[in-house]
A and B are shown apart, each in its own frame.
Chain A
């Protein structure tokens, strides 16, 4: 599993990805042109509300988009391979070996009528036709040990309902890692869990990530979890990445009003005194009739005329930090004018 230790280059490159759902009520642009890179050994958080397109984006990397959803533009390159042009057979080989995914609700992802051992072995043998059953079983037990499950011999013969929620999520992680993928997509893996169990799973994921040098995409709406595990963050709103940067950029130098809003609307457990929350007013965007300009404009307190008409371009803020907001564009123009005046 340590083969990739030295590999530090680009693992995943997503360029101008567009995904639409063609529903009877009209086209829903679930993902409207997003771009980002992920290096080996990096953890990227994707933060957004429900309906912001964060899961759809992940499903398109996995090639798991279901009709009526369709990738309508852009490119996804993972470990040097173009993902979108792959055929169905190529895709199913690519999944598991190169990327794998863990889901929010482990109970619906495990088959209730097969034992855990059976399912782990099946996952491995589906991608590795030459491995013998005995070897596969040995490997499955190693994986269960890696994710911290005790009493492995007995656990292999048990069914999903005999596991608790946290234990099932560990099994899901073991299954996701059994083919040694280079990229792991975790779609809200701790949302359904209690905080003490969430803490266990986060520790486990950090540990495995250090050992394997995998790239991880961590999809969540919990900013606390992001602060804990991620190296960089993309904030999504209505199918667009509105701000991107390192965790420090996002938490200490947020530049988009939506990121600001998210941070100030959350109570903090370490706050010293009572402070009234500052909510983001209004409701999330209706994706069937998105606004013309910046999708956040109708809820933005600093909204200007231009925001309602045109989507803002990305403004580079140093390093990997960029945000799509007209306020930042205006600042840049003002700065340039000042410089020329001097």
Chain B
């Protein structure tokens, strides 16, 4: 495996059981495989209910995965223990038998203690006012993580660290004694970011960090996240529904639909040359702030709504709304694979069927 990969996820699943309903319940994340390289930003886009937030939280094991594997920095931090293709130790390629079928092996169930990893993997939440305890001062909120992980040897050092963090996110050190409600939305989000940075993480899941903010404030936060990434060498997973923001901040983008990844590619490539029908519709639906461009272009308008993840369609999950759906799409689940260099997708149409 590549040394520059920080986080790898294989066949990750997260189901939420529903009381009184037989079967797996809500299939929020279904068979997602991806990797994130050190220092890059992987964007995840999709509509509400597509499982992008659940994916982020499951990767951090804030939700315990139902199945699959999570590998962080070469160490397996979760393994659901199931049959997976056996990989060659040197090349990393799947080993095949005489008939060309992959050799399967059953992995050992693993669920490591996450506390040491919490220092490395952090999260920034969507709603800044809901994710800050209203009864704690900003200093206490930011300092809590420092205490839990014993990062400061003295009170003076702890105060110094809090001051430094607040300055880093563009707040004053006097703000440490104030409560969250005394801040505007943009400032609250800065506090949320300072809290995530307190443990000096390597990897941050940014879960819609700017969706709740005013337009003129959004760009301030986006620029700050970019600056911090350059200074501290952070790796981001940036979850959002706004494709234009994700495209701006990400190196690569994964597109999710109903719990599954349908396409993943380098961000400009994905925009220029989307290969999955869902990505095409999503791109054409984003309004462009330019009257001539937005009135001239052809828009693909999807019929209907997202199906329920409790009872997802058979085969390709997008087939109920896909304008190009064929017989095979209803019957078989398409395989997520690399069609062009660094450009993955899951669609039967790409197979020439």
Asked if A266 meets B289 with Cβ closer than 8 Å, knowing A196-B47, A199-B299, the reply is yes
Interface membership of B156, Cβ < 8 A: no
Hey, which chain A residues are within 8 Å of B186, CB to CB?
Answer: 283
Contact B214 A274 (CB under 8 A): no
Interface membership of A337, Cβ < 8 A: no
Distance of A222 Cα from B223 Cα, bound (Å): 20
Distance of A212 Cα from B244 Cα, bound (Å): 33
Contact A228 B295 (CB under 8 A): yes
If over half of B's interface residues share one DSSP class (helix, strand or loop), that class is named, otherwise mixed; here it is helix
Distance of A255 Cα from B248 Cα, bound (Å): 26
Per-position 1/0 for A246-276, Cβ under 8 A of B: 0110010000000001110111111111101
Instruction: Name A121-176 residues within 8 Å CB distance of B.
Output: 164, 166-167
Per-position 1/0 for B251-292, Cβ under 8 A of A: 000000000000000001001000000000111111111110
Per-position 1/0 for A84-117, Cβ under 8 A of B: 0000000000000000000000000000000000
Per-position 1/0 for B114-127, Cβ under 8 A of A: 00000000000000
Distance of A269 Cα from B284 Cα, bound (Å): 10
- CB closest residue in chain B, given A283: B184
Interface membership of B216, Cβ < 8 A: yes
Contact B248 A195 (CB under 8 A): no
Could you tell me the distance in whole angstroms from the C-beta of B300 to the nearest C-beta in chain A? 9
Interface membership of B305, Cβ < 8 A: yes
Per-position 1/0 for A207-248, Cβ under 8 A of B: 000000000000001111111100000000000000000011
How many A residues have CB within 8 A of the partner chain?
46
Contact B223 A228 (CB under 8 A): no
Contact B243 A195 (CB under 8 A): yes
Hey, which chain A residues are within 8 Å of B222, CB to CB?
Answer: 267, 277, 279
Per-position 1/0 for A54-67, Cβ under 8 A of B: 00000000000000
Interface membership of A49, Cβ < 8 A: yes
Contact A262 B216 (CB under 8 A): yes
Neighbour of B291 across the interface among A203, A247, A265, CB < 8 A = A247
Neighbour of B244 across the interface among A197, A267, A281, CB < 8 A = A267
Neighbour of B216 across the interface among A196, A198, A280, CB < 8 A = A280
Asked if A194 meets B288 with Cβ closer than 8 Å, knowing A166-B305, A269-B271, the reply is no
Distance of A273 Cα from B222 Cα, bound (Å): 17
Hey, which chain A residues are within 8 Å of B47, CB to CB?
Answer: 194-197
Interface membership of B241, Cβ < 8 A: yes
Could you tell me the distance in whole angstroms from the C-beta of A126 to the nearest C-beta in chain B? 30
- CB closest residue in chain B, given A266: B289
Could you tell me the distance in whole angstroms from the C-beta of A310 to the nearest C-beta in chain B? 24
Contact B285 A266 (CB under 8 A): no
Asked if A227 meets B291 with Cβ closer than 8 Å, knowing A167-B305, A265-B216, A269-B271, the reply is yes
Contact A199 B289 (CB under 8 A): no
Contact B215 A221 (CB under 8 A): yes
Interface of B toward A, CB cutoff 8 Å: 47-48, 184, 186-187, 214-220, 222-223, 226, 241, 243-245, 247-248, 268, 271, 281-291, 293-295, 299, 301-302, 305-306
Closest 4 CB pairs of A and B: A224-B287, A267-B248, A279-B219, A265-B219
Interface of A toward B, CB cutoff 8 Å: 49-50, 164, 166-167, 194-200, 202-203, 221-228, 247-248, 251, 261-263, 265-274, 276-281, 283-284
